[in-house]
Copies of this chain bind each other. A is one copy, B any other.
Amino acid sequence: MPRRTAPVGELVGRAREGDSRAVARLISLVEDESPLLREVMAELAPYAGHAHIVGITGSPGVGKSTSTSALVSAYRETGKRVGVLAVDPSSPFSGGALLGDRVRMQDHATDRGVFIRSMASRGHLGGLSWSTPQALRVLDAAGFDVVLVETVGVGQSEVEIAGMADTTLVLLAPGMGDGIQAAKAGILEVGDIYVVNKADRDGVQSVTRDLRSMLALAERSEGAWSPPILKTVASRNEGVAEVVQAIEDRLEWMRGNGVLTERRRSRARDEIEAIATTALRARFAHLHGDARLDVLAAKVADGGTDPYSAADELIAAL
């Protein structure tokens, strides 16, 4: 194990005191899949479960970065500490993202109550679903009141983010090819709050109307959360306070009916399973040499055995 500059316990302490560099270092350990992660997570555990995790998703060009920045400012006016995690599900690199961070940070550069970090999500161990929950765990334990997780809605990423957030904001905008947005049926399953940004543009009525009628078709059980549709011009801070209010309303609602606790437990369950499965897969691969699974796979492909017997053999070898 490499010699490290600061012990994990000290890093965690500094992160909780608002030291951005310590927070950044902890998230780097997540990104690097560091062997120190176990120790980090053990140190963080007692401080878990306080932040409101808010997912922000939408097609490219709807104004996610601008909206996130406006939400940060609005939250700072209420005195709350805000963490931002921008997850790029398409990039295998984090180098480019870091430049983006510096640009994005400008509005909040001198504010110790704000932390912004971009993260590439295609790690070795399963990307979005493996590293993002752990980075959120860092920000939660570091004492941020609100953590905004921003991701572009492509493929399954918005569904994955929604699974990791307490509350999910879906951003739309007029003139973005409504067909494309509507075709992404996924967004109708994940949104807790819908925000039509760039509401000063033509077509805002039609986007809002389409959205309303699509949501009306969705079946909701008795007592379920009814997602509001809000309009913003994030670049001019218009309507942003109302979005913050909706996020806080949602938090109150979740606190009142046990949904918050249930979501957090469900996420912890997913995390434990993901870590356990990853650990077992690593054992599958390394047991009796790296080639073990390959040998079994070749045997199955050639008809020498069936996948169930091969799976048995793999498990038995544990």
Contacts and interface: CB of A to CB of B under 8 A. Distances in A.
Interface in A264-318: 264-269, 271-273, 275-277, 279-281, 284, 293-294, 296-298, 300-311, 314-315, 318
Interface of A is mostly: helix
Interface stretch (A21-29, A35-43, A236-244, A250-258): A35-43
Given A180-B183, A294-B269, A303 B37 contact: no
Contacts of A183: 177, 180
Contact of A180 (B41, B180, B281, B309): B180
Nearest to A267: B301
Nearest to A41: B306
Given A183-B180, A272-B314, A294-B269, A48 B303 contact: yes
A82 B304 CA distance: 25
A308 B275 contact: yes
B298 A268 contact: yes
A309 B303 CA distance: 40
A215 interface: no
Contact of A42 (B159, B294, B308): B308
Nearest to A264: B301
A218 interface: no
Given A179-B177, A280-B277, A301 B156 contact: no
Residue from A180, A273, A318 having most chain B Cβ neighbours under 10 A:
A273
A271 B293 contact: no
A46 B303 contact: yes
Contact of A281 (B261, B273, B309): B273
A185 interface: yes
8 contacts: A41-B306, A42-B306, A45-B306, A47-B303, A177-B179, A266-B297, A267-B301, A272-B300
Interface of A: 37-38, 41-42, 44-49, 134, 137, 154-156, 159, 177, 179-180, 183, 185-186, 261, 264-269, 271-273, 275-277, 279-281, 284, 293-294, 296-298, 300-311, 314-315, 318
